[in-house]
Amino acid sequence: MKKEQFRPAINEEACARGDGASLASYLHFFYHCASLALAAVLGTRYKFSMLDKKCTGDIDWEDLRYFAALARHRSLSATARALRVNHATVSRRVAHLETLLGCPLFERRAEGYVLTADGTAVLEEAKIMDSAALSVLRRLDASAELSGLVRLTAGRSLAEGFLIDRLDGLHRRHPGIDLELIGDVRLLSLARREADIALRFGDPKGSELAARRVGTIYFGLYVAAGMHSEADTLARLPLVGFDRDGDSIAEAEWVEQHFPGRRFAFRANSQIAQAAATRAGFGIALLPRYLADNDRKLAEIDCDRPMLERELWLLIRPDLTKVPRVRAVADYLVEIFRRERQHFAGHSHASALEAMDAQPEETPKA
C-alpha cells in the first residue's frame, strides 16, 4: 500500500495575521505529526515512547536539518562549511538521530555519505517539515511595514571594499530596516532563507529567482606604486592571487590562462588581502577596478591581453519581490550600482561607460 505524504492543514487566517501564538502552535503540532510520519515510514523501529518524549524535545529539528544537509553535501567537511560548524558537530547530530530512530541513515563509502533506504525515506519527510516551516516564515514576510531584517549576501571584497561605505543612505532612508550583510565566497541558498538578496557574478540562466543585471565589474593588473615604470615589470615580477581552494574562481582561471606556470609570491582567499600584499610589493595582482583604481599605493600596468570582465546580478526569491523591506533594499542597491558605474569601470573605461548609459534600462526577469 502506497504511503501518503503527511501534510497537516495550516490555519491560513491566523498565519496571514501573523498570529505568533497560532504560528508557534502550528509548528509544534507539525513537528509532532511529522514525527508520527517518521514512525510510519520506519515502522516499529521508532518506538512510540520516543514520540511521547518529542514534545519535551527529544527529537531535535536541528538533528534533521544537519541530516538533510549531509544528504545534500555528502561529506562531513562540506556540510560543516555550509552550516558554519565543525565536522564533529555534524557527525554528532546525525549519530544522535540514527540512535533515536534505531537505524542507520547513511552508508560511509569512499565517494562520501550515501543514503540508506531508511535514510531516503526520512529525507522525504524532513523535506516536508522544512518546506512547511519555510512556508510559515514566508507568511510573516508579508508585513507591509518597512521594518525588520533583510539578509544580503555578496562576495567579501565587494561587501567590504564597496558596499558597506555606501549603505548609510539606506539606513537614513529606512531606519526601521535591519540589514545583515554576509560577505562570503560561499553561495548561500536564497530558497532556504540563508539570505533574502544575493549579488552574484554571471547570468543566472534557468534560475527561478527574480534576477536583474546591475553592472559589470572590470579588472586590471596592479603592482605597488613605483614599480610600474620598469619596462619588464609584467614579465619579471611574481604573482599575487587566490589560494589553491580558489582555483575555480574566474579571476584565478584568467591568471592561469594568461600566466601559466608563473610563480605566486603571495596567495589569499580575499582580494582585499591580495591588494594589501600588492601594496607591500609582493608582485602583480589581478584586481577589480573599484578596489584598486583609487588606491594611491597601487599602480596599473599595461597588458596586451584582453582583461577580465564579470557581470554582476542581483537575485531575489520571487515570493520576496513584493515584500516592502526587501524591495526597498533591492531598489537601493540598484540605485547604488547605477550611480557608481564610473567607479566600477575605472579610469580607462569611460567610453564603455558612456555606451552603457545610452542603453535602455534593464527590467527584472523572473
Cβ–Cβ < 8 Å for 83, 192: no
Q: Where are the domains of the chain?
A: 12-140, 148-215+310-358, 222-302
Distance in angstroms (rounded) separating the CA atoms of residues 236 and 165: 36
Q: What single-letter amino acid sits at 350?
A: A
Q: Which residues pair with 198 in a beta bridge?
A: 153, 315
Which residue carries 545610452 as its cell? 358
State residue 266's pLDDT score. Answer: 97
Q: How far, in Å, CA of 25 to CA of 19, rounded? A: 10
What pLDDT, on the 0 to 100 scale, is given for residue 218? 95
In this prediction, residue 142 carries a pLDDT of 52
Nearest CA among 263, 305, 295, 297 for reference residue 280: 297
Contacts of 92 (CB under 8 A, 6+ apart): none
Give, as one character, the DSSP assignment of residue 33. H
Q: CA 47, 52, 53 angle in degrees (round to 5)?
A: 95
In the block, residue with C-alpha cell 591581453: 305
160-191 as b/e: b if 16+ CB within 10 A: bbbbeebbeebeeebeebebebebeeeebebe
User: In the prediction, which pLDDT does 321 show?
Assistant: 84
Distance CA 208, CA 315 (A): 10
DSSP readout, 277-345? Answer: HHHTT--EEEEEHHHHTT-TTEEE---SSPPPEEEEEEEE-GGGTT-HHHHHHHHHHHHHHHHTHHHHH
**The C-alpha cell that represents 366 in the structure block:** 523572473
- At residue 4, the pLDDT reads 40
pLDDT tens for the chain, 366 residues long, are 444 443 334 444 444 444 444 445 555 555 555 555 555 555 544 443 344 444 334 567 788 888 988 998 889 988 888 888 888 999 999 999 998 888 999 999 888 899 999 999 888 877 776 666 655 555 555 555 688 889 999 989 999 999 999 999 999 999 999 999 988 655 556 656 678 899 999 888 777 788 999 999 999 999 999 887 666 788 889 999 999 888 889 999 999 999 999 999 999 989 999 999 999 999 999 999 999 998 999 999 988 889 999 999 999 988 888 889 999 999 999 999 999 888 888 765 555 555 555 555 555 554
Q: What CATH class does 148-215+310-358 carry?
A: alpha beta
Q: Where are the beta strands (DSSP E) in the chain?
A: 106-109, 112-115, 148-154, 177-183, 197-201, 210-224, 239-241, 264-267, 284-288, 298-300, 309-316
Q: What is the assigned CATH class of domain 12-140?
A: mainly alpha
Task: Read off the amino acid at residue 205.
Answer: K
In this structure, are residues 241 and 257 in contact, taking their beta carbons and an 8 Å threshold?
no
Q: Quick check: do 12-140 and 148-215+310-358 share a fold?
A: no
Specify the pLDDT at position 178.
Answer: 94
**What pLDDT sits at residue 28?**
53
pTM: 0.60
Give the residue among 291, 238, 241 at the shortest CA–CA distance from 268.
Answer: 241
What is the C-alpha to C-alpha distance for residues 134 and 130, in angstroms, rounded to an integer? Answer: 6
